[in-house]
Amino acid sequence: MAGNDKSVSDGELGVLEVLWSRGQATVRDITAVVYEDQSFSKYQSVQKLLERLEKKECVRRDRSTTAHTINTAIRYPVARRWRGA
């Protein structure tokens, strides 16, 4: 783990759940699932959540294409443990 804080916020867990159900997704894909109505600010919110998850090594980002593809780097039970469930 990159940082000492292994906790996952509710918003971060929501993003991880999208990735677990889809396998991989772009920021736009995740935004479409998390929010019914998309906007630039909501896209930016998802982007920030992904940046935090990437720093915690919970997701991996493939930057080889213009639309980055994000994959989860942890399994569901690990995230549940971090949430204290």
Model pLDDT for residues 52-80, shown as the tens digit of each residue = 999 999 999 998 888 889 998 887 656 55
Of all residues in the chain, the percent with pLDDT exceeding 70 is 81
pTM score: 0.80
CB atoms within 10 A of CB 36: 7
- What tokens appear for 67 in the block? 């639309």
CATH no. of 10-79? 1.10.10.10
Q: Does residue 1 register a pLDDT over 50?
A: no
- Which residue bears the tokens 């090594």? 57
Domain coordinates in residue numbering, the chain: 10-79
Mean pLDDT of 24-50: 94
